[in-house]
Amino acid sequence: MNIPSAPRRPLTVLLAAPRGSCAGVERAIAIVEEALRRYGPPVYVRHEIVHNRYVVDRLKRQGAVFVDELDAVPDGRPVVFSAHGVAETVRQEAGRRRLPVVDATCPLVAKVHRAVDRHVRAGRPVVLIGHDGHAEVVGTLGQAPPGAVHLVESPADVDRLTLPADRTIAYATQTTLAVEETAAVVTRLQQRFPLLTGPARDDICYATSNRQAAVKAIAPRVDLLLVVGAPNSSNSNRLVEVARTTGAGDARLIERAHDLPWDRLETIASLGLTAGASAPELLVQEVLDALRLRFTLDVRTVRLAEETQSFRLPRFPPLFAAPDQAAE
């Protein structure tokens, strides 16, 4: 005889919106795919195009080759710069080798680069608010000569700066920081340097701000909040931090459905779910599908903003003959 299975326990899911891939990430992925279509594989990509293992692995299967430095790119083959941007020395090296370059730097990151360059050319010391070692920060620091840009992560770092208080000091920020954390650093900069100048608005991108605002709206209402994103994704990690500081009973980062903390899920009645700006929506749906196998879900979308931003693709240069081919 058939024994009826136990009824699935109910679970309320508050689904944050906006969430997941932003316009800059979608543009970067589209650039690699278009480069593969135009040039044929292999197309080389300096560093991860975006910080998401699923995306990187999918592009690898299509023929993208991810490298740490340009010396791994054969002469004549196209190279894509990642969405995080690159230092000026990388561009110069690509130009020296006549590598066909397709620039996937997020336009909002490129805007920060232009501002840093403008301030340095005007003779102003620049303070960059960001996380040491992050790919975007490395690229932004590389827009200026060594020592021209001073990296800070906290108000305490501001206190250690030895810049003159009577000079005009400029600041810029990494685009994927926590809004409140950045505001505290800017406040301390203003206190120390009365002539501080910076962007009309902070450089934190709209997608980062929107995703953090959505998390703040649902965090106090859930027992656990899960962020779908990569461990090396700055904006995803900031979402976990925001959730923990704005009322979530617990908050964790997962890459995919196979990372779901089933033991913890069995103890809760409400779950918040979002995704970092480099995580595709299909990974969120994968998580929901996995949850439906064990729970009866009541999914409620909490939407705080509509995102209509899009960015054009850059110019795709022609392939050049490699030096040995040109000599034939």
SS3 262: helix
CA nearest neighbour of 285 among 303, 269, 301, 265: 301
Distance CA 278, CA 280 (A): 7
Q: For residue 113, give Cα distances in angstroms to 142, 143, 159, 172, 180.
A: 9, 6, 25, 9, 23
Distance CA 29, CA 102 (A): 12
Is 307 tagged catalytic? Answer: no
Distance CA 271, CA 312 (A): 36
Q: For residue 84, give Cα distances in angstroms to 77, 207, 220, 233, 296.
A: 21, 15, 32, 11, 40
Q: How many CB atoms lie within 10 A of CB 155?
A: 16
Torsion angle (degrees, nearest 10) of CA 137, 143, 148, 151: -10
Torsion angle (degrees, nearest 10) of CA 13, 14, 20, 22: 160
Write the CB contacts of 90 (distance below 8 Å, at least 6 apart in sequence). 46, 70, 81, 142
CA nearest neighbour of 140 among 128, 125, 131, 124: 128
Beta bridge partner(s), residue 70: none
SS3 91: helix
8 Å CB contact between 237 and 225: no
- Which residue out of 34, 136, 241, 306 is catalytically annotated? 136
Residues annotated as catalytic (active site), given as ranges: 136
